[in-house]
């Protein structure tokens, strides 16, 4: 009886000191969750009759460091074109970049995976696989032909210089309409939520 | 195996040499002796003696509804919902329309579009009765009878008589039909002709083309019976249906062009039946059935009359069959059957002609060990040219516990063979650019696109699309039949269906035009379970009330598991915040109502017949809106609704009958979610009956 009380006391003491310690560390504020709206990255325009490309569109590149769209020559992290995402590494770029899709909510994913767990783009497959339900989206096919970002798929990202970030795609249509219409809303227009850890650690919270 | 079974049947047919009545009397009141049904066991049975749930809809009920097409009759029955998916089909025990077999005089109708057999193809004024069997009947009927069987039994020439019906109603809906029947000694002839037309309706005048375009159709039916002797009877029957519907739409982007044309569908069937009673104990029935279903449509640009699109579809189905009934004694009764089907399809979307053939044998043994106990066991073996063998057993029993209470129970296997579309489709949508291949065509199809350099990436190796397996279910039905002296009747049925190998579309590859190539695979496992209750009671001498209710749960088993593991998320479409879906939030499969109900009042007084019927369909899922492909949010549902229908008929002597009625009395509409409900529809009908009484 006496013993257990002592343990309780010790426990409380430890909890108290632990709290103290955390407070002193969180002088650096928690990382900011940012939302980037309407990144326009249309896919190639194709003649539906012949399958020939009428107009090839470029990848549109995004950098977490600048928090915006950058040139292909800059230190980009993610490239967008149509429903395809590329990361600055492997066959897609000269950086250390890669990605890994994880199941969960954005807030739950508070730590990036080990560096070695990331996948890079290769000739056979992208780090974030393309195709309906394989990667970040579902394609409904007829009659609505909608691209819907799958809920609960978080893209963990390794940036071009080996830092970490997490991304959740929210919409593929301009202004993220609550009920998108594939025929009238502008597609290939990304809205996504992200968090970037600039200090090189894997902490994402 | 096959030869042994056939040899067994042949020897069975040869050895036994005696036959007597298959309809055995039981303790059912004399007034119901006419309620003989055939669909549950393929023999004539009293409605009150069945081991499986069956709904009987008689001619008088069809008349009371003022119904003209089959959909109008079925939508008021407990547990049946009309589903609009490439036509109006029926949902039974939570199954899509693909899984209910539709028979006319015991033989299947063909011609399904994306799995749905359009039930408004069937006129009802020549129908003697409709029998709806719930639960699998593949042990007798083979493929498609997973959810159940709807058997439409047409009129037969009983006596010399004739009649004409005229009906006119809202949307310029017009129906004229007439029938004559002639009976002289050994010969009976029945002829029926029907014309139905409607102007359709339009909920969206701003959009080019109507919600339902004008259409007109014709049905002709004939039946000839000739009795060579009391023991040898021949029946020939033929049915022909043709419908023409206008088609209009706008195509093109910035400068829309109007295309228009006509769609024609034709449906015909021919049945020859020879009933041969060899002796007191043995009866043979030889059947030969042929049916066809054709559609063709062409759309031309209105400006220059150049062809925009043209398509055709031709399906043929032929089936010879022999069925033997052997009556040992009051306790033992055997049914054996052997037959084969030959099916073929030629269509715009298929490469050349595709054919299937199936041979099958079935047997059913009825045992009545005691007056109050019936046990039926049966099985059917189908041998299919593409997917192989399929064995479908079924076991059912009924026990009369007390004069007012009977228990029913059954366990059975149902299956649905992959259809032509799932095996052989070869289709590329020219306006959008996606492609769909049946599993037998997918390797060649993807190869062709690969060689043309039109494949961006392959998601699933086409060679892994092996021949599809039939979709299969195991079903359990348990019921109570209750009947009290004061006329109160109640039936309860609990059901559970476990379905495996459900065929789904799967994306195979993506083309350079960003569109997908689809094929089919056996993927899902789902279950449906629920309870159905039917009650009827004579409130007054002239006033009968009927009520029905169905409770239904239908879920995808993989989704249930994912939910339990916490792997399903939802994104609020407005706030864009993602959260985990709780298992309790899962609403099950789309398009299923948890609650369906009906209340129907029928009044009869002298020459007047009136009815007031209300049918409720509870809320059901329409489509995903929050990024997880499952039904889990309130805004993914269509609100539940009631439809009220009323009619009054009066007979003037035996010659003339007048009827007026209104369907959808309260003018319920949901233009965007349920365009198939047209709003309030009134009608007036006059009938003339001529004949010897």
pLDDT digits (tens, 9 = 90+) for A75-105: 999 999 999 999 999 999 999 999 999 999 9
CB contact at 8 A, A82 and A60: no
Q: Residues near B180 by Cβ (< 8 Å), separated by ≥ 6?
A: B161, B162, B189, B190, B191
Q: Who wins on pLDDT, A29 or A121?
A: A121
Give me the interface pTM, i.e. the ipTM.
0.79
Residues from chain A contacting residue B624 (CB–CB below 8 Å): 148
Position B26 pLDDT exceeds 50: no
Using one digit for the tens of pLDDT, what is the confidence trace for B648-668? 999 998 899 999 999 999 999
- Give SS3 for A77: coil
By C-alpha distance, which of A137, A134, A140, A200 is closest to A165? A200
pLDDT tens for A37-50 read: 999 999 887 665 55
Find the closest chain B residue to A48 by CA distance: B433
Contact A51 B452 (CB under 8 A): yes
At A188 the pLDDT is 93
**Do A7 and A84 belong to one domain?**
no
A74 and A57 in a common domain: yes
The answer to whether residues A87 and A123 belong to one domain is: yes
Say if residue B466's pLDDT is above 80: no
Instruction: Indicate whether A1 and A86 sit together in one domain.
Output: no
Residue pair B285/B273 in contact by the 8 Å Cβ criterion: yes
Q: Is residue A55 part of a domain?
A: yes
More confident residue, A54 or A15: A54
Determine, yes or no, domain membership for A78. Answer: yes
B611 Cβ contact list (under 8 Å, min separation 6): B64, B65, B600, B601, B602, B603, B645, B646, B647
Distance from CA of B629 to the nearest CA of A (A): 8
Q: Are residues A140 and A160 in the same domain?
A: yes
Residue A155 is assigned to a structural domain of this protein: yes
CA distances from B667 to B84, B200, B384, B427, B681 (A): 19, 16, 48, 40, 8
What b/e readout covers A116-153, taking b as 16+ CB neighbours within 10 angstroms? eebbbbeeeebbbebbbebbbbbbbbeeeebbbbbbbb
Burial of B112 (0-12, 13-18, 19+ CB in 10 A): buried
Q: Is the pLDDT at B28 greater than 50, yes or no?
A: no
Q: How near does any CA of chain A get to the CA of B414, in Å?
A: 30
Set of chain B residues whose Cβ sits within 8 Å of the Cβ of A152: 567-569, 578, 580, 628
Q: What pLDDT was estimated at residue B17?
A: 37
pLDDT over threshold 60, residue A62: yes
Cβ of A46 within 8 Å of Cβ of B627? The answer is no
Average pLDDT over residues B364-368: 95
Same domain, A23 and A73: no
d(CA B569, CA B556): 16
Count A/B contacts: CB-CB distance under 8 Å: 92
**A142 and A41 both lie in a single domain:** yes
What is the mean pLDDT of the segment spanning B559-563? 95
- Partner-chain contact A176 B433, CB within 8 Å: no
Same domain, yes or no: A17 and A108: no
Confidence of residue B15 (pLDDT cuts 50, 70, 90): very low
Residue B284 CA, distance from chain mean position: 28
A152, B454: Cβ pair inside 8 Å? no
The count of other CB atoms within 10 Å of the CB of residue B49 is 21
Q: In what side-by-side order are the strands of the sheet with A68-70?
A: A68-70, A60-63, A78-81, A84-87
Model pLDDT for residues B161-185, shown as the tens digit of each residue: 999 999 999 999 999 999 999 999 8
The residue of B430, B431, B454, B514 whose CB has the most chain A CBs within 10 angstroms, and thus the best one to mutate to test that interface, is B514
B512: nearest CA partner in chain A? A51
Q: Is residue A204 part of a domain?
A: no
Distance from CA of B145 to the nearest CA of A (A): 28
B384-439 residue pLDDT tens? 998 889 999 999 999 999 999 999 999 999 999 988 888 888 888 766 677 889 98
| Mean predicted confidence (pLDDT) in A138-152 | 83
- Is A202 within a domain? no
Cα–Cα distance for residue pair A95/B150, rounded to 1 Å = 65
DSSP annotation of B31: G
What is the model's pLDDT at position B270? 97
- Report chain B residues whose CB lies below 8 A from the CB of A131: 457, 459, 507, 510, 516
Strands B426-428 and B455-458: unpaired
Let me know if residue A130 belongs to a domain.
yes
Residues of chain A positioned with their CB less than 8 A from the CB of B585 = none
Instruction: Determine, for residues B628 and A151 on separate chains, whether the beta-carbon distance falls below 8 Å.
Output: yes
- Is it the case that residue A51 has pLDDT exceeding 70? no
**Beta strands at B516-538 and B435-437: parallel, antiparallel or unpaired:** parallel
Query: In Å, how far is B513's CA from the nearest CA of chain A?
Result: 5
Residues in B lying within 8 Å of A, measured between beta carbons: 429-434, 452, 454, 456-457, 459, 505, 507, 510-516, 518, 567-571, 573-574, 576, 578-580, 623-629
Looking at the partner chain, which of B433, B514, B569 has a beta carbon nearest the beta carbon of A151?
B569
Give yes or no for a contact between B360 and B342, defined as CB atoms under 8 angstroms apart: no
**A10/A86 same-domain check:** no
Does position B13 have pLDDT exceeding 60, yes or no?
Answer: no
Three-class secondary structure of residue A25 per DSSP: helix
**Closest to A131 (Cβ–Cβ): which among B507, B573, B629?**
B507
Examine the domain organization and report whether A105 and A48 are in the same domain: yes
Provide the chain A residues 55-114 that lie in CB contact (below 8 A) with chain B.
82-83, 103-106
Residues A99 and A179 in one domain: yes
Instruction: Please give the tally of structural domains in chain A.
Output: 2
Average pLDDT, rounded, for chain B: 89
Residue A38, in any domain of the structure: yes
- Give the per-residue pLDDT at B337: 97
If you average pLDDT over every residue of chain A, what do you get?
84
Are A19 and A71 found together in one domain?
no
pTM recorded for the entire structure: 0.86
Output the pLDDT for position B277: 96
pLDDT at B521: 87
**Domain encompassing residue A174:** 31-197
Residue A203 resides in a domain: no
């Amino acid at each position: 009886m006496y013993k257990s009380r002592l343990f309780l006391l010790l426990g409380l003491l430890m909890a108290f000191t632990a709290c103290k310690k955390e407070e002193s560390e969180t002088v650096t504020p928690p990382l900011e969750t940012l939302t980037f709206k309407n990144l326009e990255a249309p896919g190639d325009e194709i003649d539906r009759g012949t399958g020939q490309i009428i107009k090839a569109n470029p990848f549109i590149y995004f950098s977490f460091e600048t928090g915006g769209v950058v040139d292909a020559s800059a230190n980009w992290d993610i490239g967008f074109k149509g429903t395809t995402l590329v990361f600055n590494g492997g066959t897609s770029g000269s950086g250390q970049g890669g990605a890994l899709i994880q199941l969960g909510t954005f807030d739950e994913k508070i730590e990036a995976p080990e560096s070695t767990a990331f996948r890079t783009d290769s000739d056979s497959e992208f780090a974030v696989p393309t195709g309906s339900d394989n990667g970040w989206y579902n394609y409904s096919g007829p009659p609505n032909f909608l691209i819907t970002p799958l809920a609960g798929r978080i893209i963990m990202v390794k940036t071009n210089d080996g830092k970490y970030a997490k991304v959740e795609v929210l919409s593929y249509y301009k202004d993220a309409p609550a009920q998108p219409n594939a025929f009238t809303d502008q597609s290939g227009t990304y809205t996504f939520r992200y968090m970037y850890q600039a200090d090189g650690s894997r902490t994402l919270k | 195996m096959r030869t042994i079974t056939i040899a067994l049947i042949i020897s069975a047919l040869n050895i036994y040499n005696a036959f007597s009545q298959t309809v055995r009397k039981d303790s059912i009141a004399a007034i119901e002796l006419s309620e003989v049904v055939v669909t549950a066991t393929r023999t004539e049975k009293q409605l009150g003696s069945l081991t499986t749930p069956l709904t009987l809809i008689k001619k008088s009920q069809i008349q009371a509804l003022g119904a003209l097409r089959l959909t109008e009759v079925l939508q008021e029955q407990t547990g049946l919902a009309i589903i609009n998916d490439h036509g109006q089909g029926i949902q039974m025990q939570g199954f899509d329309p693909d899984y209910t077999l539709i028979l006319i005089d015991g033989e299947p109708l063909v011609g399904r579009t994306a799995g749905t057999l359009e039930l408004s193809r069937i006129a009802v004024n020549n129908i003697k009765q409709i029998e709806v069997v719930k639960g699998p009947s593949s042990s007798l009927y083979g493929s498609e009878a997973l959810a159940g069987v709807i058997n439409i039994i047409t009129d037969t020439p009983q006596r010399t008589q004739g009649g004409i019906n005229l009906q006119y109603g809202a949307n310029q809906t017009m129906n004229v039909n007439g029938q004559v029947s002639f009976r002289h000694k050994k010969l009976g002839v029945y002829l029926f002709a029907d014309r139905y037309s409607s102007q359709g309706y339009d909920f969206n005048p701003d959009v080019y083309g109507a919600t339902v375009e004008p259409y007109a159709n014709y049905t002709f039916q004939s039946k000839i019976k000739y009795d060579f002797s009391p023991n040898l009877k021949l029946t020939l029957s033929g049915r022909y249906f043709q419908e023409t519907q206008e088609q209009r739409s706008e195509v093109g982007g910035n400068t829309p062009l109007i295309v228009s044309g006509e769609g024609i569908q034709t449906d015909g069937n021919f049945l020859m039946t020879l009933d041969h009673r060899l002796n007191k104990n043995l009866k043979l029935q030889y059947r030969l059935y042929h049916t066809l279903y054709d559609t063709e449509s062409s759309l031309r640009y209105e400006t220059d009359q150049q062809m925009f699109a043209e398509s055709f579809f031709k399906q043929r189905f032929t089936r010879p069959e022999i069925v033997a009934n052997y009556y040992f004694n009051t306790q033992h009764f055997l049914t054996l059957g052997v037959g084969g089907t030959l099916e073929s399809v030629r269509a715009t979307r298929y490469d050349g002609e595709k054919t299937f053939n199936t041979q099958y044998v079935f047997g059913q043994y009825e045992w009545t060990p005691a007056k109050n106990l019936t046990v039926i066991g049966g099985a059917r073996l189908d041998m299919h040219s593409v997917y192989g063998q399929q064995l479908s057993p079924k076991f059912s029993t009924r026990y009369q516990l007390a004069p007012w209470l009977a228990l029913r129970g059954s366990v059975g296997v149902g299956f649905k063979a992959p259809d032509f579309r799932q095996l052989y489709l070869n289709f590329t949508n020219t306006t959008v650019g996606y492609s769909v291949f049946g599993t037998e065509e997918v390797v060649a199809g993807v190869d062709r696109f690969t060689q043309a350099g039109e494949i961006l990436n392959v998601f699933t190796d086409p060679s892994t699309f092996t021949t599809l397996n039939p979709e299969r279910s195991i079903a359990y039905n348990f019921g109570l039949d209750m009947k009290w002296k004061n006329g109160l009747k109640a039936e309860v049925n609990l059901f559970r269906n476990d379905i495996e190998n459900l065929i789904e579309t799967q994306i195979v590859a993506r083309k350079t035009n960003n569109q997908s190539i689809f094929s089919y695979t056996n993927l899902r496992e789902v279950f449906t379970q629920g309870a159905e209750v039917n009650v009827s009671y004579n409130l007054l001498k002239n006033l009968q009330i009927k009520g029905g209710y169905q409770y239904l749960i239908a879920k995808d088993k993989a989704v249930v598991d994912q939910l339990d593991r916490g792997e399903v998320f939802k994104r609020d479409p407005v706030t864009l915040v993602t959260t985990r879906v709780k298992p309790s939030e899962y609403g099950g499969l789309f398009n299923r109502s948890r609650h369906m109900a009906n209340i129907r009042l029928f009044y009869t007084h002298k020459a007047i017949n009136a009815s007031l019927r209300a049918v409720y369909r509870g809320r059901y899922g329409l489509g995903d809106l929050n990024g997880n492909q499952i039904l889990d949010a309130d805004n993914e549902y269509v609100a539940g609704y009631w439809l009220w229908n009323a009619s009054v008929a009066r007979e003037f002597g035996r010659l003339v009958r007048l009827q007026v009625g209104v369907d959808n009395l309260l003018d319920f509409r949901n233009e965007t979610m349920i365009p198939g409900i047209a709003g309030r529809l009134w009608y007036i009908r006059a009938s003339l009956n001529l004949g010897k009484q």
